[in-house]
Amino acid sequence: MSGLSLRGVELARAGFHLGPIDLDVPPGTATVLLGPSGAGKTTLLRATAGFLAVRRGTIELDGRPLETEPPERRGFGFVPPSLGLFPHRTVERNVRFALEISGAPDAAARARRWIEHFALGSLARRYPSELSSGERQRVAMARALAAEPKALLWDEPLNALDVESREALLGVLTDVLEEERIPLLLVTHDPTTALALATRLVVLERGRIRFRGRPEELAAGRLDRFTARFLGYENLASREELAGCGDPARAADLLSRAGPGGLLLPPEAISWAPGAGSATVRSIRWTASGWSVTVQWGSLTVRAESGSPPGRLRAGDRVGLSIDLEKVKPLDASEGVGA
Amino acid sequence: MRAPSDRAVVAPALSAVLAASLLGLFVLPLVALFAYVGWGGFLFAVGDAGFWTSIEFTLLASGIAVGLGLLTGVPLGYLLARYRFRGREVVESIVLVPVVIPHLVVGVALLLLFSPTSPVGAFAQSLGIPVINAIWGVVLVMLYVGASYVVLSSQLAFRAVDPETVDAARSLGATPGEAFATVTLVASARGIATGALLMWARGVSEIGAFLIVAYAILPSPPWFGPVTPPASVYIWNLYNSSAGLLPAASASCLLVLVALAIFLGVRLLDRSGLSTPRGGWLS
């Protein structure tokens, strides 16, 4: 098959076991490996690139087995977290590196094409130390693509970028995938990058896949507690916390909708009413999306959002809570659907 | 309480005063030397053919020593920078020994090891490589007292190279050898060159060990000139002669000028863009 394919890939190093991992990254698509530090994302990417030996399993690129090939013969455009730009070479000579190594007769012209593509023409004679973070990212991208790779492997590509540069680079990456029709396997610990770029999303935890699916399946399908917490969801209530909430009558309602891992109560599903109630205000903050009020409701601590100001509400006040049951989601205890 | 702006002025001013006092310590003795020698003494030294022979010999021996220092010291620096192995700390300590050991002791040790009556000396002699009072004795001394600078400088330089640049080079099609030659070595060139320059300077300024193993150099390949001591020993001989201090001081001035010319030449070459960012490999 075309594209990148991993089957039953396993490896062990320094007490850490990764896998077995099965992955398919078709041409023109981006699979994003997401997970906390130590989940095994970078280990999997480096094994795919050929810098770590796999213990079991197969890695194929366009049907060609790669497990025994050295990194220089695998055909990947690999970009490490630091980008790995050569500090002693100008932008132009960085981009030209692969073409020089392969002895391409038209190295300068081909490098020029990618330099222009990434709008690096005015920076061509500068050294990496003279560039901004965003410019360095573009150079890394141009250099990887100038080698005409059959797939891109990218480790934390948008690290240390401001929002504007990040958005711009996300756009460029998407265009490149579309134009070049090559697969991209990308590692990040940042859910925002992952959700913005991924055709398919793979969440890793301690060397195992915890979620696999399209980003939109996260909204439609059921989530496990780990994935939901990692993706930044708030108000993850366990069944025990729901049972001990401040209103026994409503606890039954909530429990009836909960999964084995409890219930996700999105902040926008919760509203408060000042006056006598079963919840106590713990804090009130203004955020970019409106007023945020954290309340203690029996054994449950939840955050609610409101576009309107909370009036004279103070920490310690009693409030009544209402929850829109149509917006709550059940949580699985472990693996999610789609895996 | 002192305002931050005051501190911003005081700290550089204090640094400048301290730095100037050290530079003064470097320069003032030389000023005294040149003032004592004067123009006449200087011209006398320029016309001393024996001194130029010793300089020619010293440059040849130090060139060979630096070449061998790079050949052996750079790989050792690389191993120490990139690999963790049992006994690494012991190796690092051994590298530092020549820096602290009195160099007369180095001379005695090399004499014991390479005297023609010792097994190693006899073996070297049988290969046609005389050591005592021969160019190879001078090269060995220079290597012993100076190669540590190459090892330490290249170790630091290699350590400063981001290993991910090497990974990137590999994925861009470079074999391990190509990645080393085009990325690691070039990016470290400045540090390695600094180590080589320090080694050269240390070797040229050596005297203690030369007095024991290389007092007078007899012609043997690759030195085909007349019998001569190394430049530092030549100056020592002048100092101990009945002619007084002036000839020794005059020759010393010339040696300082030769060394300065070489340092300046290397700096200019560096600035002309032989390699690395901003076209230079010396820090």
**pLDDT tens sequence across B42-82:** 888 888 999 999 999 999 999 999 999 999 999 999 999 99
Helix (H, G, I), strand (E, B) or coil at A51: coil
CA pair distance B181, B166, nearest whole angstrom: 10
CA pair distance B188, A281, nearest whole angstrom: 60
CA pair distance A159, B81, nearest whole angstrom: 27
Mean pLDDT of B193-214: 93
What's the number of CA atoms in the CB half-sphere (13 Å) around residue A36?
10
B56 found inside a domain: yes
Shortest CB distance from A88 goes to which of B164, B174, B186? B186
Q: Residue A249 — pLDDT band, cuts 50, 70, 90?
A: confident
Q: Residue B280 — pLDDT band, cuts 50, 70, 90?
A: very low
B21 found inside a domain: no
Shortest CA gap A89–chain B (Å): 7
CA pair distance A189, A35, nearest whole angstrom: 5
Angle between helices B245-271 and B4-46 (to 10 degrees): 120
CB contact under 8 A, A84 and B170: no
B32 found inside a domain: no
**pLDDT tens-digit profile of B63-73?**
999 999 999 99
Chain B residues whose C-beta is within 8 A of a chain A C-beta are 162, 164-175, 178, 182-183, 186-187, 189, 275-278
Angle between helices A163-180 and A133-146 (to 10 degrees): 10
DSSP label at residue B48: -
CA pair distance A263, A265, nearest whole angstrom: 6
Say what the pLDDT of residue A134 is: 87
CA pair distance A58, A1, nearest whole angstrom: 13
B30 found inside a domain: no
Shortest CA gap B79–chain A (Å): 19
Per DSSP, helices labelled H in A67-190 are 91-102, 107-117, 133-146, 163-180
| Cβ pair B176, B143 in contact under 8 A | no
B137 found inside a domain: yes
- Domain count across chain B: 1
Give the C-alpha distances (Å, rounded to integers) separating B82 from B79, B163, B164, B213: 5, 9, 13, 36
| Cβ pair A182, A144 in contact under 8 A | no
ipTM field: 0.79
Mean pLDDT of chain B, nearest integer: 90
CB contact under 8 A, B169 and A97: yes
Count the residues in chain B.
283
CB contact under 8 A, A87 and B182: no
B18 found inside a domain: no
CA pair distance B66, B77, nearest whole angstrom: 15
Shortest CA gap B9–chain A (Å): 28
Q: What CATH code is carried by the domain that includes residue B155?
A: 1.10.3720.10
Claim: this prediction has a pTM higher than 0.90: no
Mean pLDDT of chain A, nearest integer: 87
CA pair distance A88, A121, nearest whole angstrom: 18
**pLDDT tens-digit profile of B25-37?**
999 999 999 999 9
**pLDDT tens-digit profile of B94-134?**
999 998 999 899 999 999 999 989 999 999 989 989 999 99
* Sequence-ordered list of residues with C-beta below 8 angstroms from that of A216, at least 6 positions apart, any chain: none
Per DSSP, helices labelled H in B214-276 are 231-240, 245-271
Whole domain around residue B82: which residue ranges? 37-272
A160-164, A256-260, B152-156: which range is least confident on average? A160-164
Per DSSP, helices labelled H in chain B are 4-46, 49-82, 88-100, 103-114, 119-126, 135-159, 163-171, 176-179, 185-205, 208-213, 231-240, 245-271
